[in-house]
Amino acid sequence: MEEAREAVADACRRLAREGLVHATAGNVSARADELVVVTPTGAVLAELRPELTSVVDMEGNVVEGELAPTSELFLHLGIYERFDAGAVVHTHSPVATALSCVIDELPPVHYQMLAFGGGVRVAPYATFGSRELADNVHAALDGRSAALMQNHGAVCFAGDCAAATELARLLEWACEVYWRARTIGRPRVLSEQELAGVVDALRERGYGRTSAR
């Protein structure tokens, strides 16, 4: 449990350093068996210490910690119930949030978006902290590891906090690539066939791993 609390706090501080969360806007969680470590509501993420995190069960009951958990708790718990997730990162990163105000889906304009499963859907708007918002996001995440949240922000999940943080960084990068391309012209979108070719090449060449010559 202490390791999970450290991981959540470390992820919050890194996300703040990289400008993906600001002040108290955003939240992070990590699953530890049948418990979830989550950021507390109102916490300044750049300063979060492990002992300030909240620990809840899968029903949302606080079992450890003196601070109330994030208002987006059910967004996090629903992801753990529905998907093979070990950690969840919700950000208000600027480019992703800006795009969430104007598009319905971030199309696959770069092959690295395969890390999300393809194009990234935009979950319809609902009030923050509501069950409706959580349900909308869970639907947008079907078959994906990331979603944008209309006029709100973004969410990613992965096996651990470090991997979920990397996905959040990648998503902000992909959003910026799309935004810059849109300022020049109509972005070309990779087809299913082109993405399948990337998957085959990754498998054959072991891309992303060092190897001997």
> Which residues carry out catalysis?
72
Tokens of 18: 């990289």
Q: How many CB atoms are closer than 10 A to CB 96?
A: 29
Tokens of 68: 């109330």
Closest C-alpha among 111, 140, 113 to residue 200? 111
The residue count for the chain: 213
Q: Is the dihedral of CA 207, 209, 210, 213 positive or negative?
A: negative
**Helix pair angle (131-140, 73-82), 10° resolution:** 40
Q: Which amino acid is at 158?
A: A
